[in-house]
Structure 1
């Protein structure tokens, strides 16, 4: 079964918000080396989805 949805009915998702790469790295404890790679890949700004799927972060153990 399909349903027609008007574009105005769709709300923007949090993953489509645009972030500053440096601010995202600071908030998510991403090291300087990984930040440099993200800046090279995306430039100064990227969507949250792009950053989430491309950033690597060390696990937080005790």
Structure 2
């Protein structure tokens, strides 16, 4: 285990947090997918969580 001094840590690393509803609107996800994501994460989630858990239908299939 390595000991790290608090002064040496970067204070500029920030994770982008999205409102799940806004993310779904911006990425054209349906209402059912929004409900699923809100049950999974609540009202807010990081961009990485949303990108990795959103299910998108292929655009060439209808």
- Report the TM-score when normalising by structure 2: 0.74
Unaligned runs of 5+ in 2: 1-7
Paired residue for 2:57? 58
Please report the RMSD computed on the Cα atoms of aligned residues, expressed in angstroms: 2.1
Which TM-score applies when normalising by structure 1?
0.74
Number of positions where the alignment pairs a residue of Structure 1 with one of Structure 2: 55
- Which structure 1 segments of 5+ residues have no match? 1-5
More helix by share: 1
Separation in structure 2 between the aligned mates of residue 60 and residue 12 of structure 1, nearest angstrom: 35
Larger radius of gyration: 2
Spell out structure 1 runs of 4+ moving beyond 6 A: none
Which structure has more RCO (C-alpha within 8 Å, separation ≥ 6)?
1
